[in-house]
Chains A and B, each alone.
Chain A
Amino acid sequence: EAQVTQNPRYLITVTGKKLTVTCSQNMNHEYMSWYRQDPGLGLRQIYYSMNVEVTDKGDVPEGYKVSRKEKRNFPLILESPSPNQTSLYFCASTLRGGGSNEQFFGPGTRLTVL
């Protein structure tokens, strides 16, 4: 089944404790992206990647890191989480140049930073 997966789905952590949220897709998509969703603010892009080893900042990159060592994986790293990073996070992927720009979203990761 074609899908985007994220882990963990729920995470409660404390300020300053490094964490990684994994994202994987099995559709051979070149483009992958991370968003955070907050009430009243919609979906805001954190980082995106056009292909392996190519990443770029989105609208709200501060406090986050990403890497793209393999086409299928795009982990989101919070080196020193803070309470203002409490949010719902979505990973998404798209096939570039395939005639469709549909972004396929993962199930989401709800992060709480105490």
Chain B
Amino acid sequence: KQEVTQIPAALSVPEGENLVLNCSFTDSAIYNLQWFRQDPGKGLTSLLLIQSSQREQTSGRLNASLDKSSGRSTLYIAASQPGDSATYLCAVRDSNYQLIWGAGTKLIIKP
């Protein structure tokens, strides 16, 4: 059974720092992995989608990597800003086509 873990559960860093969020999964048989952000009380905003055949995807200050063999993905945020404060979730599409979610990392960027 696929399980997705995100560590740390919460992270607080000063503005301007580069940071890395982690996502690990137990079964390497995935179709893709997607990173989302969620602001309090809001829906989810898609950040990056990595297909199983890809190693990384970039969008602006965000870079996501995928290492299926080790069951890991990282989301790199460059030059963090207070507006990046949110909960970041990763989800993997497993071999049954279902999305399995991590519990999220709550990120706080201090001005």
Are chains A and B native binding partners rather than an unrelated pairing?
Answer: no
Partner-B contacts on A (CB < 8 A): none
